[in-house]
Amino acid sequence: MKKTFWNRKRRENAAGWLFIGPEVFGMLLLSVFPLGFSLALSFADWNLVGGVSSIRFVGWDNFIGLWEDDRFLKALRNNVLFTAATVPGVIVIALAMAAVIHARLYFQSYFKIAFFVPYICSTVAIAAVWSALFHPSKGPVNQILIQLGVTDPPKWLVDTSYALVAVMIIYVWQLIGYKIIIFIAGLSNIPNELYEAASIDGAGTMGQFWHVTLPLLGPTTFFLTITSIISSFKVFDIIKFLTNGGPNDASTVIVYQIYEEGFQRFNMGYASAMSWVLFLMIVLVTSVTWIVQNRKVHD
Amino acid sequence: MSGKWEWSKVAATAVFGLISVCFLIPLLWMVSAASKIESEVWTFPIRWIPKTWNFMNNFQEVWLGKVPFTIFYANSIKIAVMTTAATILFSSMAGYAFAKIRFAGRHAVFGLLLSLMMIPEQATLVPRYILIRWLGLYDTHEALVLLMMFSIYFTFLFRQFIAGIHNDYLEAAQIDGAGYFRTYWQIVVPLSKPIFATVAIIKFIWTWNDYQTPLIFLVSRQLFPIPLGIQYFKEEFATSIAVMMMASLSAIVPLLALFLVLQRHVIRGISLGGVKG
């Protein structure tokens, strides 16, 4: 064959880059460029309404401002509370339920579907239903609480002490099925022989769970922990739809603050600084979880 | 079912059956309230079967009222179909290249893409908003499709699946003189049908339910997809819970039906994401 410019190697390279081209272009345009752009903006004061000419560089002012912004600090605190309340406990419950569904029940596919249904539903539609259930005077939740003898039940979404709790309940209810499905998938990957070997060694149900199931579910638990922490940092839909961060900022979170600063007040620089705090928190959490996990594996 | 019923399993199933029903009570309440007249919505103890059926009136209010749900529906279908089609095309092409084409730089690019998964989309909302305005796409469906159609996660799923296709098939095609595009189209795509189905249904659901992107990038009511439509209903019908519940029911039912038909694909796709470790 005649040697041409388009030899086999060159053709292979060209084809590879053509095939990944759109995806790579999309990521550069919508992920890499915006991340750099928002870093630059976070050192600037810019109200979008004023046009490009009104960009003014202000050094660290935005970040210093965040540190002194009570609403942002409240949002930060709420995010931490939200993660602490919705991640560890829910993972334990989801694991327990997955273990029971996987090993001890008939009609397993029914249970998988039943607990997964809320995950399929539109968050906004679900939030609308829960806001009726949580109605302070007429809602079924409080009617039941009164029936049970609670004289002064919380006002939930309009209660400064309970708004965030109400959001957490809706959030956990919608997402627990996802965790159950992932755990069941992890459980089905554990070979049966291991359980047989353990039971020959005299391990009971609990012993098998502690010595076979839990260690082998390590990677699954790790994956779920990281993704759950990250998604709890990003909670927004329920809050925007039901409380707008209120009452009195009781349920505000970082993403809600970004939304308000960026898209209602058009303070692009300040909103970008918040975005970078969020991004760095996620990088930090991911790295820490990663390091802890690797250490555990090596022990 | 072969073998004897085990007592402990029967008991556990019964207990979990009860738990699952309690778990689904909010949805049952929604269906019940959507069939009632407003004054009956709040009766306590909860009257699950309405005394006065008002399902049709609520239905008409939602579907044929001042701003009919049909518009939101048409918008949602358009956005979800276009986004899903673009996602499966670009993600599968990239997945094929990463799995089967040995081009220079593939490991580096793939690693870089995976690390980009850590960037939360909320952290880049501001610059993407500015970008969309610069491109003149603000308040268009095209903006939503552009913003949602690229997915590293699905590229990864495609790559994992396509890597499992035996090289003999691809080599046979190349001996027959097929180039990369024909190999992709005539060999890879047909052999990857299961993963195409899985990605398509999951992407469709996620796009259908997305609230944040349209909230920020759309302002015209006639362009709203369903989640924004529900928000609009909430503002218009704040006092009519029965109508609100009908709107929620209308948003959920078609997707739920789709899910029940294709649940095997959905659950497998969700599981694939979690056990890659």
Specify the pLDDT at position B220.
92
Answer whether residue A264 shows pLDDT above 60: yes
Answer whether residue B260 shows pLDDT above 80: yes
Q: What residues are paired with A175 via a beta bridge?
A: none
For the residues B230-256, what does the mean pLDDT come to?
A: 88
Average pLDDT, chain A: 89
Specify the pLDDT at position A298.
53
Answer whether residue B277 shows pLDDT above 50: no
Query: What is the DSSP secondary structure assignment for residue A286, as one 8-state letter?
Result: H
Choose the closest CB to B244 out of A115, A128, A184: A128
Q: Given the structure tokens 């299961």, which residue do they identify?
A: B194
Q: Cβ–Cβ of B27/A112 closer than 8 Å? A: no
Answer whether residue B39 shows pLDDT above 70: yes
Q: Cβ distance B275 to A189 under 8 Å?
A: yes
Answer whether residue A260 shows pLDDT above 90: yes
Architecture of domain A71-297: Orthogonal Bundle (1.10)
State which of A156-160, A221-225, B93-97 shows the largest mean pLDDT. B93-97
Q: Which of A74, A252, A258 minimizes the C-alpha distance to A163?
A: A252
Cα-atom radius of gyration of chain B, to the nearest Å? 24
Can you give the length of chain A in residues?
Answer: 299
pLDDT tens digits, B61-74: 888 887 788 999 99
d(CA A98, CA A104): 10
Shortest CA gap B26–chain A (Å): 7
Q: Is B35 helix (H, G, I), strand (E, B) or coil?
A: coil
Shortest CA gap A161–chain B (Å): 23
d(CA A19, CA B112): 16
Q: Cβ distance B68 to B58 under 8 Å?
A: no
Q: Binning pLDDT at 50, 70 and 90, where does residue A276 land?
A: very high
pLDDT tens digits, A119-151: 999 999 999 999 999 998 888 999 999 989 888
Choose the closest CB to B251 out of A100, A105, A125: A125
Q: Binning pLDDT at 50, 70 and 90, where does residue A3 land?
A: low
Q: Would you call A31 an interface residue with chain B, using a CB distance cutoff of 8 Å?
A: yes
For the residues B126-154, what does the mean pLDDT come to?
A: 93
Among positive and negative, which fits the CA dihedral B260, B265, B266, B268?
positive
Answer whether residue A88 shows pLDDT above 70: yes
b/e B175-214 (16+ beta carbons within 10 angstroms → b) = eeebebeebbeebbbebbeebbbbbbbbbbbebbbbbbbb
Cβ neighbours of residue A188 under 8 Å, at least 6 residues apart? A102
Specify the pLDDT at position A296.
65
The phi-psi region of residue B45 (left if phi > 0; otherwise alpha if psi is between -120 and 50; otherwise beta) is: beta
Nearest CA in chain A to B151: A23
d(CA B103, CA B110): 12
pLDDT tens digits, A223-236: 888 889 988 999 99
Specify the pLDDT at position B52.
83
Q: Given the structure tokens 């990239």, which residue do they identify?
A: B94
Q: Given the structure tokens 């939602």, which residue do they identify?
A: B62
Q: Cβ distance B50 to B35 under 8 Å?
A: yes
CB atoms within 10 A of CB A203: 16
The alpha helices in chain A, defined as continuous H runs, are: 8-27, 33-41, 61-68, 70-86, 88-104, 108-120, 123-133, 140-147, 163-188, 192-200, 205-208, 214-216, 218-233, 237-242, 254-263, 268-298
Choose the closest CB to B119 out of A24, A138, A279: A279
For the residues B135-163, what does the mean pLDDT come to?
A: 93
pLDDT tens digits, A198-225: 888 888 888 888 888 888 888 888 888 8
Q: Given the structure tokens 């308040």, which residue do they identify?
A: B139
Specify the pLDDT at position A2.
54
Q: Which of B36, B62, B126, B243 is the best substitution to test chain A (most A C-beta atoms within 10 A)?
A: B126
Shortest CA gap B71–chain A (Å): 17
Of A36-50, A193-207, B22-36, the one with minimum mean pLDDT is: A193-207
Answer whether residue B273 shows pLDDT above 80: no
d(CA A140, CA A148): 12
Measured CA to CA in angstroms, residue A68 lies from A45, A63, A245 at distances of 17, 9, 19
Q: Binning pLDDT at 50, 70 and 90, where does residue B274 land?
A: low
Answer whether residue B50 shows pLDDT above 60: yes
For the residues A160-170, what does the mean pLDDT come to?
A: 94
Report percent pLDDT > 70 for chain A: 97
Contacts across the A-B interface (CB distance below 8 Å)? 275
The domain segmentation of chain A, as residue ranges, is 71-297
Answer whether residue A168 shows pLDDT above 90: yes
A157 phi/psi in degrees, rounded to 5: -65, -20
d(CA A271, CA A260): 8
Long-range contacts of A207-212 (CB under 8 A, 24+ apart): A209/A99
Q: Binning pLDDT at 50, 70 and 90, where does residue B120 land?
A: confident
Q: Cβ–Cβ of A122/B125 closer than 8 Å? A: no
Answer whether residue B2 shows pLDDT above 60: no
Q: Cβ–Cβ of B113/A24 closer than 8 Å? A: yes
User: What pTM was estimated for this model as a whole?
Assistant: 0.91
CB atoms within 10 A of CB B53: 12
Answer whether residue A152 shows pLDDT above 80: yes
Report helix, strand and coil shares of chain B as percent, to nearest 5: 75, 0, 25
Specify the pLDDT at position B167.
87
Answer whether residue B222 shows pLDDT above 60: yes
In chain A, residues 219-278 whose CB comes closer than 8 Å to chain B: 219-220, 222-224, 230, 233-234, 236-237, 240-241, 255, 258-259, 262-263, 268, 271-272, 275-276, 278
Enumerate the residues of chain B whose CB falls inside 8 A of the CB of residue A113: 260, 263, 267
DSSP string of A244-283?
TT-STTTT--HHHHHHHHHHTS-BHHHHHHHHHHHHHHHH
Q: Binning pLDDT at 50, 70 and 90, where does residue A46 land?
A: confident
Report percent pLDDT > 90 for chain B: 52
Answer whether residue B114 shows pLDDT above 90: no
Q: Return the structure tokens found at A68.
A: 């002194």
What's the burial of A71, exposed, middle or buried (CB within 10 Å: 0-12/13-18/19+)?
middle
Residue type, B49: I
Can you give the length of chain B in residues?
Answer: 277
Answer whether residue B276 shows pLDDT above 70: no
Q: Is A56 helix (H, G, I), strand (E, B) or coil?
A: strand
Nearest CA in chain A to B182: A15
Give the side-chain half-sphere CA count within 13 A for B42.
Answer: 14
Residues A110/A115/A120/A126 CA torsion (nearest 10 deg)? 130
Q: Binning pLDDT at 50, 70 and 90, where does residue B150 land?
A: very high
Enumerate the residues of chain B whose CB falls inside 8 A of the CB of residue A230: 120
